Structure 1
Amino acid sequence: MSLSLYYHPYSRAAGTLWALEEAEVAYDLRVIDIMKGEQKGSELVAKNPMGKLPTLVDGDVVVTEASAIALYLADRYAPGRLAPALDDPRRGAYLRWSFFAPSVIEPAVMAKHSGWAVKEVAAGWGSFASMIAAAESAIAGKPFVLGEAFSMADVVLGGTLRFMMDFKQIDPVPLFKDYVDRLKVRPAYQRAEARNLAMRSELGLQ
C-alpha cells in the first residue's frame, strides 16, 4: 500500500515531497484546494482536526506536522540511512536541529516580521539574532547537520532555511546559501521540485 499525502503545491506539503523522495517510498497525492478552503472540509478534518497540510496517511497511521512526517518517514522507511539509530550518539543532534526549525526558526521569523512585542526570556524561540546564531552553529564547518552524512534533519532544517531565504525573511548569508545549494543538487530534491512545478501547471497556478 502506498502512502497518501494530502497536498497542495502552495503549502508546507510541497516540502514534504522532498522527504518522501529521499525516503524512496511510493506515495500518491490527494490534492486539496486550499484556495477554496477544502482543507477545512470533513474528509481532511476527520484525519487532522487542524484542517491543515501536510497530512500523511500510511495505512491506519495518520501523521501531521511537516517535521514529524519527515522524521516518521526516515525512522520507518530509511533507518540508518536518513535517521541515526536509536543508540547512535548523533541522534541527539539529529533531533535537536529537526525540532529547532519549526519551534525556533519559524516563530522567531514570525515575531520579527509581525512586530510582536515579546520578552526574550519568556519566548521559547528567544530572539531573532540568537536564532540566527544557533542555526549557523548547526552547520558551521561541515556540509550537513551530522557532518559528512546527509540525514532527514537536513530536509527539515535546510528546507526551512531555503523557504525563509526565498521569501526574504532570513538573509542569504554565505553559510546558509552554500548549505542550501548543496541540498538543491540532491536528486530527490530535484524530483520533488519537478513534481511541485508539474502540479502547479496541472492546477493552473502561477
Structure 2
Amino acid sequence: MPTLYHSPFSRSTRIITQLMLMDRLDAVDVRPAVVRRQDGSGHHDAANPHPEGKVPFLIGDDGMAIRESNAIMLYLDELNGYPLGIAPGQPGRGAFLSWMCYYGGVVEPAMVCAFSGEVHPAFATAFRSLTEVGAQIEAGLGDAPFLMGERFTIADLIMASAFQWAPQLTPDNAAVRDWVARVTGRIGTVPVMEYEEQAKAALEAAA
C-alpha cells in the first residue's frame, strides 16, 4: 500500500481530493505531517521523510519515493488505470501531460510573483503573468467544459487548485472563472473539506 504524507489544507489536499474522486482513499496509507505555514506556524516534522519537510510526499509499495504534486498525481492515476487521466497512446496525451507540467513550471511561479508584488523583467520573460496564464487556459478550453474536452481530469484538478486557494488572483477572464466554478463543483461531489477538518483536528490534538 502506498504511503502518503499529508498535511490538511495544504498542497497535498488535492492528492486527497484525487484519491476520493477515484474512490481509492482507502488504498493509500495517509500519514499526518506538520509543515511550516506561511504565517510562521508549524515546523519540519521529523516523521516526514520529504527532504524539505514539505507535502505531499509519497512512498510506493516498492519503496520508491515521489515528490511534487503533479508527479504524485500522475503516478496514482497510472497506478489505478487512468480514471482521471489520459493513458499513453490515447488522443490528448500530449496536451494532458503539458497541462500537468505547466502548473508547476508556469502557474505557481506566476502566482508567487503576483503575491510578492515583484515583477522583474527576467521573471516575466521566463514565466509570463497570470493574465497570460488565463489566456492559455481560455485557449485550451475552447468551447469545452474542461481542459481535456468533455472529460474532467487531474489536469483540471491541479490547474484550478491555484485559483481555489487564492481566488483573488484568478485572471479577470469569464471563461477561466466559469471553468474554476465547474472544477469546484466536481470536487464538491466528495467530502474532502470534512476530511480535512477532521485531519486538522486530529493533528492539533496530537501536538
User: TM-score, with normalisation over the residues of structure 1?
Assistant: 0.82
Q: Deviations over 1:87-142 (max 9, x none)?
A: 12301110111111121111112113313342258743123322221122222311
Pair 1:174–1:200, CA change in 2 (3 A): farther
Look up the match of 1:52.
54
Look up the match of 1:192.
192
- 2:131/2:171 contact within 8 Å kept: no
Look up the match of 1:24.
23
Q: Which amino acid aligns with 2:191?
A: R
Q: Distance in 1 between matches of 2:189 and 2:55?
A: 19
What percentage of aligned pairs have identical amino acids? 26
1:162-181 matches, within 5 Å, as 162-165=164-167, 168-171=168-171, 173-181=173-181
Residue 17 of structure 1 deviates from its aligned partner by: 0.6
Of 153, 156, 166, 1:154 maps to 156
Q: Distance in 2 between matches of 1:187 and 1:110?
A: 24
Q: Could you say what secondary structure the match of 1:85 adopts?
A: coil
Count of residue pairs brought into register by the alignment: 197
Pair 1:163–1:138, CA change in 2 (3 A): farther
Q: Distance in 1 between matches of 2:137 and 2:151?
A: 18
- 1:8/1:33 contact within 8 Å kept: yes
Q: Deviations over 1:135-184 (max 9, x none)?
A: 2222231111110112221111122232231xx22246432332222223
Q: Distance in 1 between matches of 2:111 and 2:187?
A: 29
- Does residue 64 (structure 1) correspond to residue 64 (structure 2)? The answer is no
1:4-23 matches, within 5 Å, as 4-23=3-22
Q: Could you say what secondary structure the match of 1:24 adopts?
A: coil
Q: Which amino acid aligns with 1:158?
A: A
**CA RMSD across the alignment:** 2.5
Which structure 1 residue ranges, 4+ long, deviate > 6 Å from structure 2?
none
Q: Distance in 2 between matches of 1:104 and 1:113?
A: 14
Q: Distance in 1 between matches of 2:153 and 2:88?
A: 14
